[in-house]
Amino acid sequence: MPCGGFLPLTFGWQALPFILLLAASLGLLAILAAMAIGRTVDGATRVPLGTFLAVAAVPGWWLSMLTTGAGA
């Protein structure tokens, strides 16, 4: 099962937009950091979205705990 299907099952669908937005923002920041240190970035540069989804899942879990009240 892809990570995108696992996240809403684990954290609830309410946290999914936040997790995706955060993961995409982290990917953009990684590209901007690569450009800042002088690496060549073009249309063929690959960015591992799964890694950023995993990192974004931690605040997504926190958000789902706040919105649903689970774990309290």
Mean pLDDT by 10 residues, the chain (72 residues): 64 79 92 92 87 84 72 51
Distance CA 11, CA 40 (A): 36
13 domain residue, yes or no? yes
25 domain residue, yes or no? yes
Q: What is the pLDDT of residue 33?
A: 93
Q: Assess contact for 72 and 31: CB atoms under 8 A.
A: no
Nearest in space to 3 (alpha carbons), one of 52, 70, 46, 63:
52
Q: What is the pLDDT of residue 1?
A: 43
Structural domain including 54 reads: 9-36+47-66
72 domain residue, yes or no? no
60 domain residue, yes or no? yes
Nearest in space to 52 (alpha carbons), one of 36, 66, 31:
31
Q: What is the pLDDT of residue 71?
A: 53
Q: How far is CA 50 from CA 15, 24, 39, 59, 68, in A?
A: 16, 10, 22, 15, 25
Looking at the 3D structure of the chain, how many domains does it have? 1
54 domain residue, yes or no? yes
17 domain residue, yes or no? yes
29 domain residue, yes or no? yes
